[in-house]
Chains A and B, each alone.
Chain A
């Protein structure tokens, strides 16, 4: 067949890719038709990103053949990928912060003559207009929001004439409104004849935006279905291989009593910006308090301030170890908090950069809580080793040994190690930030169950989350943060998604009109 007749923009045949002994992709077939949006679905570590990286020239397949427009090609570098009209928008942006959008877009293009900024800006505006982007070619990257940076990445790919766009979890960093905008743009690109592949974990997005869904499981190609024939349940079944109930078990709170009281908490960052502004709430033992909000509304600062990692300008943080005892946490650093015997556990957002030591194995990471315990100047390895073995077994962490560096584990296993350790410390207050971000469905449920178990033990659980459906099903109460302030605390059993959505944006709107 000749190249132009093919109805497929991309075909991948019998693709196998190994990393050491791990088979990331095993005999995978994938076809992408011209002018369609294909969702690539799979749990964490199912090999989606690896497969796409082979199209983008980051990896080279060990076996198998890639066809573009029906012709066999060899993609050895990102440049080869561009020459074949393939562009990938990676999960982590690859932009130069101090350059403008336009400069980033033309970076690496080998064009004759001087850099004609006007012409470039005009072409960028043209692309933006055609597909409905909002972009200012002269804005510097460091001044941009995450969604604007993503726009630059997409325009960069289009500028280079890509006909096939691969988006690796593009919505993970976006607010719901930004996601809707992105999907509108994707539909415009499709109407223009481009073929798109989107990697995502969020089933409702799959159903919303794509024409066809292809599913990978543990590196194997499971199959594909037209989106119109798929439901959340059927896709989940394909992904996990067995039916998983979407219902999160939520027992009623037991013996509620206040454990933590935050009063009028105010924090200012290095640049003098108010990150938290008079935040007050109480976390109650035996219940899960959800914290909702658009990303960057002060969630990180709130949890870090409570755990002694973020400077506090004003306000109080009281901890109640017993009913009639009271401790002031403000002014304590993490070591002081631990020495005071405060049973606080914290699962931070940045798992490898804050919660764990990435170069150490599970056992070294267990020691992060207990390293002070050894005799004299020496470490005590026995207990953390035992704890690591227990967590390895009980939470089914996939790792060759407890000495294997955790940075080499997949995202879900990293989180199991972190959450396992924090729960094993026997907390009275357990704070988690985006505990299931980037995790597959199975691991997410493991985490929900662990948190609910803690709640039933009388622990006060604070759950900072982004998925409203989960917040509504998992939590007992939900506090909504908006621009560093609490815009409302609602009963999760009675509230609606709309109400929370409104609270999440309320202050911003008032601020805009005031």
Chain B
């Protein structure tokens, strides 16, 4: 990139850069640092002791379970939806794309509420579920459903535009050469969308691990049974157990940092290969 002959004078650039660094430092970095500072306020021993709690471990297990179901489910959906949308023409396609993005416009609390209306005791299926001794709300299935809802569009919205842009020539060539449909998908399509898929999975996973509002509404907050990590943090915090609350929060903050780095790396790799929409 050559030296720009016009643009802002040097002092203006310096001022804008300083403003950016100052704003982001004060607004983003300070809260992040505060999580770790509060967690370590009473020393490393107290920090580690926070994890020596069956309720915390149960919360970690539940959060991982919910993500382990929600992420693959939305990956399969994203692949199926992008294959149908990007490879074929049909009526109502743009409406379908809009509807796939719909969960982003819905408040997490409302996402939880709709499942309570469906599966809660007063809900549509409530009586039937109770008669068959099944529980969705205030139980693990509700938490998984709410997690799937809030992470619904992440994979699909990365794959659809990319696959539309790439076109189907290579798939058609492979078919002509005698590959089966499944082989075409696995050997041709999947490698072409690999980076966008990673990217979608990273975003989907981050949201699944950290979801609060939707899960809070359907969970019932039963300690050791229906508490996810973010809900466990809330309980500890409301009990004025600040060190433990921030210690558990620091785990999620570390995960957030991993997410940011992974996202930047995938973006970088994909941009070099032109493999991100």
A, B from the same assembly: no
Question: B-contacting residues of A (Cβ < 8 Å)?
Answer: none
